[in-house]
Structure 1
Amino acid sequence: MLRTPVDGTRLRILTLLREQDAAADGLTAEAVAARLGLPHPAALTHLRLLTALGLLRTTRSGARVRYRRDEARIAEVARLFEKGW
Structure 2
Amino acid sequence: MAATAGSGSDDLIEVFKALGNPARLQIMQWLKDPEAHFSEYEPIADRRSVGVCVTHIQAKSGLAQSTVSSYMSTLERAGLVRSTRVGKWTHYRRDEEQLVRVARAIGATI
- TM-score per shorter chain, which class? 0.7 to 0.9
SS in structure 2 of the partner of residue 83 of structure 1: helix
Q: Identity over aligned residues, as a percent?
A: 27
* Counterpart in the other structure of 1:57: 82
Distance 2:107 2:24 in 1: 19
Distance 2:95 2:63 in 1: 22
Out of 32, 44, 51, which is 1:18 matched to?
32
* Counterpart in the other structure of 1:40: 65
Shift in Å at residue 8 of structure 1? 1.3
Q: Deviations over 1:8-51 (max 9, x none)?
A: 11111110101142651411221111112211111110101111
Distance 2:93 2:99 in 1: 11
Distance 1:20 1:45 in 2: 20
Using structure 2 for the length normalisation, give the TM-score: 0.66
* Counterpart in the other structure of 1:70: 95
Gaps of 5+ in 1: none
SS in structure 1 of the partner of residue 17 of structure 2: coil
Gaps of 5+ in 2: 1-13, 39-46
Distance 1:61 1:20 in 2: 17
User: Which stretch shows the higher mean deviation, 33-42 or 66-75?
Assistant: 33-42
Are the aligned partners of 2:34 and 2:52 in contact in 1 as well (CA < 8 Å)? no
Let me know the Cα RMSD of the aligned residues. 2.2
Are the aligned partners of 2:81 and 2:92 in contact in 1 as well (CA < 8 Å)? yes
